[in-house]
Amino acid sequence: MKFVVARSEILTRLESVSGAVASKSVKPILSGIYFSMKDESTIKLVATDLETAITTELKPKHIDGSCDFVIDARLVLEIVRNLPEGEVIFETEETNVVIRLGSARFTLPTMDPGDFPDIEAAAGGLDFTVSVSSVELMIDRVIFCAARDEFMRNLNSVYWEFDDGYVRLVAADGFRMALSEERIDLSIEDHFLLTLKSMRDLQNSLKAAMSDVMRVVYDGSRVQFFFDGTEIVTKVVDAEFPDYKKVLPKSFKARVVLPAVTFSDAVRRASIAARLGSDSVKFEINDEEFKIIA
């Protein structure tokens, strides 16, 4: 079997699925990416850590034969990243895959595709479409607030809420909280919790999306995202997210309205001095000015 593909094309697809590769696993097969045929002109790439699975499609310039193999994700990604631009040739030879471009040649051992786990898709339940750019923006706005400690399962996650025609993303780590919402054409009430890792995988894959339409399916235990030839299915977190509405302030001592970019730039400049001391900044507000002191 042999296929030829542009280096930039396969690099994008490898980077898209690599987030789902298990970093630590007793099963070697989970460290690999599974290459198989979707149809005569399309190759399907799949990776999973058993919690999240990412599937994407690759359309080579030429395919001769049928592919069905698993190769180490870290190695193939590192090889392709370090190749120059051009047409990369993948060719199977007995129990190996040979990768060639120009004078560069790499031989990688394959793993048995029969050992690769089946991917269970979300079935039925909540089903709607949303803008890719909107979801990407909402994730960017909240993901930094999610707890990094994996033992804090309910906070090492991002909360998705659907309420009165809005989709709302919320993240918190016990000290801070971020919330972002967008209007959608869906009048239901529901919610689910997704791990920080799965959200990062989704965020990374969305960056390469060419289409702005994403379909989301939630069946009570899994969520599946479909966009631009890519599918991400992930298990929901079986934990209770705190009632974030109790944290939202009911009143304010002061209210300031200013351009977000102006505020962000000022805080960034002040943080240079803050890093040398207490690593904090002070806000002073009066009727005439808003000072940021570090």
- Write out pLDDT tens, residues 220-270: 999 999 999 999 999 999 999 999 999 888 888 888 899 999 999 999 999
pTM score, two decimals? 0.88
3 pLDDT tier (thresholds 50, 70, 90): very high
CA atoms 121, 123, 129, 135: torsion sign: negative
CB 236 within 8 A of CB 221: yes
Domain spans in the chain, listed from the N-terminal domain onward: 2-115, 126-246, 260-293
- What is the mean predicted confidence (pLDDT) over 82-106? 95
CATH code for the structural domain at 126-246: 3.10.150.10
Architecture of domain 2-115: Roll (3.10)
Would you place residue 153 in the very low, low, confident or very high pLDDT band (cuts 50, 70, 90)? very high
DSSP-derived 3-state class of residue 17: helix
In the predicted model, is pLDDT for residue 21 greater than 90? yes
Q: How many angstroms separate the Cα of 241 from the Cα of each of 12, 121, 125, 181?
A: 34, 24, 21, 17
Output the furthest CA–CA distance in the chain (Å, rounded).
77
Domains 2-115 and 126-246 share a fold: yes
The per-residue pLDDT of the chain, averaged, comes to 93
pLDDT at 8: 95
CB 194 within 8 A of CB 157: yes
